[in-house]
Amino acid sequence: MSLGAATAVGRAWRRMDARTRHAAAAGVFGVLGRLGGALVVLVYAPMAREVLGPERFGVWMMLTAWTTLFAFADLGVGNAALNRVTAALADDGDADRRRQRLGATIDAAVACTIVLGLLLLALAAAWAWLAPVPSAVAGLIAPGNRTKVDVALALFAVIFALSLPTALGQKLQLGAQDGQWAGWTQFVASVLSLAAVPLVLQRGGGLPELVLATQGVSLMVQAASALWWLRRRGLPWPRPLRAWRTPLLLKALMVEGAAFFGLQLAAAAAFQSDAVIVTQHLGAEVYGDYAVVQRIYLLVGAGVVTALAGLWPAFGDAWLRRDVAWVRRTLRRALLAAGLSTLVAVLLLQLLLPGWAVDPLGAQAAPAPLLLGLLGAWTVVETLGAVCAALLNGANLIRIQLALAATMAILAVAGKWWVTPLLGPAGAVLPMLLAYVLVSVPGQVILIRRLLATPSRPMP
């Protein structure tokens, strides 16, 4: 970057209001974290396929997809805590009152996630003990691979249960408009995984070792980041036992979280169910090839959404202060930026992916043009919808979103289950796209129009 360009960027940064600067910082560092995660898959996917074989490679890709699919396992407590942290910081009361509200919210949220993690471990243990073939959850697995797959599934369950309270830290950081911490956390975890994965593969490590080198490393980095952030913020370390002294707060978090949980569950069923449906209908090997291509588009969408991740608490702060003028202005800019950037990236992928999928990404066959077109259209629609959802989440309009999402998810999953055997992997995308455009988009437009009709009261 030239000196003149750097100076222009610096001037633009200084002209931003504090809320916009926080949102922009969260976006920049969030994208940095996402890029690190993308490198782990892109760099080592061909090597992992060669070492593991197509079937176990498909299971590894499925487990990485499950990390997103099961993000709702905290029953929405993290998102409820995010909104409560934003509300506490928007409180016009004194600093001590804000600190007390923040501390109580953190204690209650950590207590909830610890209990949920223990319940998750109990369920995983029950499945491993009672199921005739525990690896069946990953589809049809050859007998020679079942032991390794069983061990990898057990490790994944333990790590995921432990990550519930540690991942909560990223929600709290985002709610406090410190989203850059979450981005740095993801980036550091990705760098460490980039070093660990080749060591595992070169030493002949298998599927369980890869789980430790990716999800295990992420768990340790999340825990360290959360504790460091609390110290830098001047907040006490979580004391979950103290949360039982405030049963009303615990109940409120669970009730608010339940609405977010329903919304997350519907979204996960519609958007992330491909790992289950494609694996069950077409096999883990076909899903491995599909996942390599799908993940590229997911990274584009996730990158744009991550760049705008700071909008949720920023919209929430603005709405609580009734700064509707800022909301209108920022929403227009965010939709324009998200739409154009995603469209450009998708068009490039349409040109490049047919040659990239086999070499260097390691897929066994080039993806069909229909699949690429549908994934591209879905990516554009998804990013625009995510911007609208950030505003609705910040305004705490969750239940009406839940009704829309549940309707859309039912149509999408039913369509996927029916169409995937007919169209192959493309059948996992088309029903989702149609359901979202016909149900979710009109609902979001109506809600946002009503929201923006509220008179503005600028921030003092």
- pLDDT tens digit string along 188-233? 888 888 788 888 877 777 778 888 888 888 889 988 888 888 888 7
Q: What is the pLDDT of residue 4?
A: 53
Tell me, yes or no, whether 2 lies in a domain.
no
Highest mean pLDDT: which range of 149-153, 266-270, 336-340, 360-364 = 336-340
State the chain's mean pLDDT as an integer. 81
- Between 393 and 139, residue with greater pLDDT: 393
pLDDT score of 430 more than 80:
yes
Does residue 188 sit in the same domain as residue 281? Answer: no
Tell me, yes or no, whether 160 lies in a domain.
yes
Does residue 79 sit in the same domain as residue 156? Answer: yes
Does residue 237 sit in the same domain as residue 284? Answer: no
Does residue 143 sit in the same domain as residue 225? Answer: yes
Does residue 356 sit in the same domain as residue 441? Answer: yes
Tell me, yes or no, whether 422 lies in a domain.
yes
Does residue 113 sit in the same domain as residue 231? Answer: yes
Which long-range contacts (C-beta less than 8 Å, at least 24 apart) are formed by 117-122? 117/161, 117/162, 117/164, 117/165, 118/161, 120/73, 120/157, 120/160, 120/161, 120/164, 121/157, 121/158, 121/161
Domain count of the chain?
2
- Between 25 and 263, residue with greater pLDDT: 263
- Between 16 and 270, residue with greater pLDDT: 270
Tell me, yes or no, whether 263 lies in a domain.
no
Does residue 311 sit in the same domain as residue 201? Answer: no
Q: What is the pLDDT of residue 273?
A: 79
Does residue 281 sit in the same domain as residue 237? Answer: no
Does residue 57 sit in the same domain as residue 124? Answer: yes
Tell me, yes or no, whether 78 lies in a domain.
yes
Does residue 294 sit in the same domain as residue 190? Answer: no
Does residue 145 sit in the same domain as residue 218? Answer: yes
Q: What is the pLDDT of residue 56?
A: 78
Tell me, yes or no, whether 267 lies in a domain.
no
Q: Could you list the residue range(s) of the whole structural domain that residue 93 is in?
A: 25-247
- Between 140 and 222, residue with greater pLDDT: 222
Tell me, yes or no, whether 9 lies in a domain.
no
Tell me, yes or no, whether 129 lies in a domain.
yes
Does residue 169 sit in the same domain as residue 220? Answer: yes
